[in-house]
Chain A
């Protein structure tokens, strides 16, 4: 009987461990990427600025996400798109072939139709 009880405790602990392992890094673990033409680079989620295209494009990053601050493209759509913060958020500058993307292991949506 006593052995059965220790079995149960062991299994319960194991269960907790497995559940922790499974959910760790799902919603919480988000990664920020910059796609420049076809090259995808991970950016660090920390306060910083990044200049691209001979200084014509300025990207701001923070602990939460990133945004386009300046760009000499005609419609400034990438700037109007604001911060990318949540899983699946994207900001795209089509004329410059640039995109900022937040990816998570488990995203709310598989795609956004726009």
Chain B
């Protein structure tokens, strides 16, 4: 009888530990204009609080410093933000000037990001383009990659708390650190035209993914044109190529910035640049074609 109990107790213990593993907890909160979710092992709850504080502090800093610069273009922002602004040059160079943190000078004429939408006169768009080219009387917006930077910083604060496996997801731009107990982090890429569907499922470990789309911030003009928040800083127009662009990179900042930068490039240009940067890309074109570039498929394998 005692042998039977020992055996069954052993079996019970083995099965329970094998089946459950480490449990994870996700907390969601509103920040950076979207819902942020932080997932950490249940035993590391303080990491959620620390990362949330980090996100709130940096979000306020970005907002404050860009507002100061926008009021007075001769203002020099604090070190972290000055460095962040400098890194915008990477995407500007990559796109031959189509990406520009000062494209907010154009987008604000249309009412982005506040939402008082209207189509501006050609003359005012021309004036904005001229201001951007001369870097005078400009408005900057770091939204294209500051969210990614803040995600990376939040991950760093979680790492500083001694946590090895976690995910920080800010409205679909995310960093997946380490893995789940039994597998890598599994991420679905949403279909841009059908939100309940997905166009790819990828598995990440110590990698980031970000998606830019034309379907989340937009308005319909009186002439029926659909105008969204990404503008080419050389033409003042929306780029005409994609409904969504997703990028896998080693940091959330890079994934975030490249998703917008690639949005401004045609398919051929993207395939050349992503090869050079070694960043997998998933394009959903305006002709409803799904294009996987630079090793995207490798991440679809488990």
Q: Which A residues contact B (CB, under 8 angstroms)? A: 7, 10-11, 14-15, 18-19, 22, 35, 37-38, 40, 74-75, 77, 80-83, 88-90, 92, 94-95, 97, 99, 101, 103, 108-114
Within 8 A of A (CB), among B103-121: 115, 117
Cβ contact of A22, chosen from B16, B33, B115, B210, cutoff 8 A? B16
Main SS at interface, chain A: mixed
Bound state CA distance, A14 and B7, in angstroms?
11
Q: Does B11 contact A75, Cβ atoms closer than 8 Å?
A: no
Bound state CA distance, A111 and B37, in angstroms?
9
B173 surroundings in chain A (CB, below 8 A): 113
Cβ contact of A94, chosen from B12, B33, B213, cutoff 8 A? B33
Q: Does A113 contact B30, Cβ atoms closer than 8 Å?
A: no
A15 surroundings in chain B (CB, below 8 A): 11, 15
Q: Does B28 contact A99, Cβ atoms closer than 8 Å?
A: yes
Q: List 28 A-B contacts (CB under 8 A).
A: A7-B7, A18-B15, A22-B19, A22-B20, A35-B28, A35-B29, A35-B30, A37-B30, A81-B195, A89-B196, A92-B171, A94-B33, A108-B186, A109-B186, A110-B39, A110-B167, A110-B180, A110-B186, A111-B37, A111-B187, A111-B188, A112-B189, A113-B189, A113-B190, A114-B172, A114-B189, A114-B195, A114-B211
B198 surroundings in chain A (CB, below 8 A): 109, 112
Bound state CA distance, A15 and B7, in angstroms?
12
| Closest CB in chain A relative to B64 CB, distance in Å | 21
Bound state CA distance, A90 and B171, in angstroms?
11
Q: Does A80 contact B195, Cβ atoms closer than 8 Å?
A: yes
Q: Which B residues contact A (CB, under 8 angstroms)? A: 4, 7-8, 11-12, 15-16, 19-20, 26, 28-30, 33-35, 37, 39, 115, 117, 167, 169, 171-174, 176, 180, 185-190, 195-196, 198, 201, 209-211, 213, 215-219, 244, 246
Bound state CA distance, A45 and B28, in angstroms?
20
Q: Does B8 contact A38, Cβ atoms closer than 8 Å?
A: no
A88 surroundings in chain B (CB, below 8 A): 188
Bound state CA distance, A38 and B30, in angstroms?
6
| Closest CB in chain A relative to B251 CB, distance in Å | 15
Q: Does B186 contact A10, Cβ atoms closer than 8 Å?
A: no
Bound state CA distance, A72 and B4, in angstroms?
66
Q: Does B8 contact A11, Cβ atoms closer than 8 Å?
A: yes
A111-B12 contact in complex given A74-B219, A94-B33, A94-B34, C-beta closer than 8 Å: no
